[in-house]
Structure 1
């Protein structure tokens, strides 16, 4: 099979929200004690987990969690609740941390993100970015000049569908004018991103490790499928 189009997930695949001491060190628990490194790391995991339940939630908040990537208001509501239940009881601290989550400038590209996007585009392969997300990630690409290698962005909150619903993969396939049998989906969630397989796409799984610990997973995935 010849791959003529590649769809990439955003969080944990092309970019990662990194643990940054400059905006975590001031966080305190209910007793006013600083959150230790383990608690900070778990906090970051909960803020970027693609699927699954990260805290126990009431019915109201469970609905917000399940639909967070379709509605910015629900996204804000549920993540402030997740932060509160994760040991950040002070509203001002939670608001500040949430602001970092939805700021594209705070997200860090993986070391081989540029090479993966640029090499695909250079070979005439159509490139799309498909994300379950409730804020615009395009500025994360434009500020680094990476947008020039992306043919189309499909974001769940703009389309009213979330992965693994085949409908959102089909939207991007249509915009890329790509056949699923000639398309590779690269993502960090077998459950969400792997939904592309239902349409006949190939799928490559990458580990959402810190950027300092994952140097070439994207390029390796592309090579493994004969793209590069």
Structure 2
């Protein structure tokens, strides 16, 4: 009868674990995009493309053209699985940017600038929260659906040393909510998933961590520039 009501899980706690108190938090896993870091303003990225290629890039019009191109069926189809590898991501971006006249012919430059070290920046509270976790001896990992090596952005921001492991879909070959994304991170940190919190902004993807025994803390799905509200994670440790 119990099986009729339980959700499918990728782990099975022992009878003792079911009776014992929930273990204290020993590790926190973070999503990257729109959780720890955000992309610089798209207009600034387009200006960088124009400056690098010598092309005149009308920002407002190009933003509109990007939105129209993104809705094209063939472009939308090309985005499926784009974060499974570096090549897949670049191909997906080429398919999109090639439909925008001013970006046609310079697609790879546009992708390179999208991935530039300073193209993604941490939220104002990212470094403080990561440092606070380190001071408390809490292990930290990043679990991200992403098409390139995002360690470069953390390195540029001076926070790479505060992250113990990076589990990236483009390196593992699967995307969240695949259990392997979370179990790989927990194994790398040598921590029980039941003593781990996953922090993100996507219920369907980041929320998949519950299937391996992690707790999940979800932030509002909104694009922010000010503090992300990461300080609330620290209260989960008490």
Q: Check whether TM > 0.5.
A: yes
Q: Does structure 1 residue 175 correspond to structure 2 residue 200? A: no
CA 1:91–1:41: 2 relative to 1, 3 Å: closer
Output the CA distance in 1 between the equivalents of 2:230 and 2:65. 25
The DSSP-based 3-state class of the residue aligned with 2:79 is helix
CA–CA separation in structure 1 for the residues paired with 2:237 and 2:65: 35
How far has the Cα of 1:209 moved from its partner?
A: 4.3
Q: Are positions 1:57 and 2:73 aligned together?
A: yes
SS at match of 1:154: strand
Q: Give yes or no for contact 1:104–1:136 (8 Å, CA) kept in 2.
A: no
User: In structure 2, what is the Cα distance between the partners aligned to 1:223 and 1:22?
Assistant: 33
Instruction: Check whether the contact 1:55–1:82 (CA below 8 A) recurs between aligned residues.
Output: no
Q: Aligned residue for 1:227?
A: 237
The 5-angstrom pairing of residues 41-190 of structure 1 reads 43=66, 55-58=71-74, 62=77, 64-85=78-99, 87-88=100-101, 90-190=103-203
The structure with the larger Rg is: 2
CA–CA distance in structure 2, aligned partners of residues 189 and 89 of structure 1:
32
User: TM-score, normalized by length of structure 1?
Assistant: 0.79
Change (3 A) 1:42 1:163: farther
Q: Judge which range, 137-146 or 187-196, deviates more.
A: 137-146
Give 2:33's aligned residue: 11
Provide the C-alpha distance between the structure 1 equivalents of 2:140 and 2:26, rounded to a whole number of angstroms. 9
Q: Pick closer, same or farther for the CA change 1:16–1:191 going to 2, 3 Å.
A: same
Q: CA-atom RMSD, angstroms? A: 2.9
Residue-by-residue CA offset, 1:7-45 (whole Å, 9 max, x unaligned): 001111111112154442577xxxx993428x63895x9
Alignment deviations for residues 97-120 of structure 1 (CA, whole Å, 9 cap, x no partner): 322222232111000010111111
Correspondent of 2:60 among 31, 36, 56: 36
Q: Distance in 2 between matches of 1:100 and 1:71?
A: 18
Please, which runs of 5 or more residues in structure 1 have no aligned partner? 47-53
C-alpha distance in structure 1 between counterparts of 2:151 and 2:37, whole Å: 12
d(CA) in 1 for partners of 2:101, 2:204 = 29
Q: Which TM-score applies when normalising by structure 2?
A: 0.76
Q: Distance in 2 between matches of 1:167 and 1:140?
A: 24
SS in 2 for 1:16: strand
- For the 8 Å contact 2:85–2:148, the answer to whether it is kept is no
